[in-house]
Amino acid sequence: METIIKSASVKVMLSYDYSHFEASMSVENESGLTMSDIDDARKKCQRLADKAVGQYKKAKQMASNRSDGEYQMRNFQEQCERIKAKDEQDRTIKEIAMLKQYEDENWQANFMYEYNYDDDDDYRL
């Protein structure tokens, strides 16, 4: 007589940067589960845990950028004010491009770093 596995549970745990991520799931089938079914469940859990780590990395980077963003914005504004004080013929191509960006009404948006986990659902599972 062959044993029929009707239910199984899988769990994946990851640690990254002193943070822990865990995904678990149960699978059931009255007709029986194959090892391939159980392995597929494990792979789905692994993908979920990988997604959590990826989102954590992205959110952490955005938080770092946000804290630097205010300084970068002020620095950019000060540089543009210095460039404006120069004669037009003395400006470099980079300086001209910076001024063009500065004169754009929405230049501050380049220094806004926002991240929302719900907006990051295009991750492949």
User: What is the domain partition of the chain in residue ranges?
Assistant: 7-117
Q: CB neighbours (10 Å) of residue 52?
A: 19
**pLDDT tens digits, residue range 50-99?**
999 988 998 888 888 777 877 888 888 899 899 989 998 999 999 999 88
Judged on CB neighbours under 10 Å (0-12, 13-18, 19+), 5 is middle
Does residue 125 have a pLDDT over 60? no
Q: What is the 8-class DSSP label of residue 123?
A: S
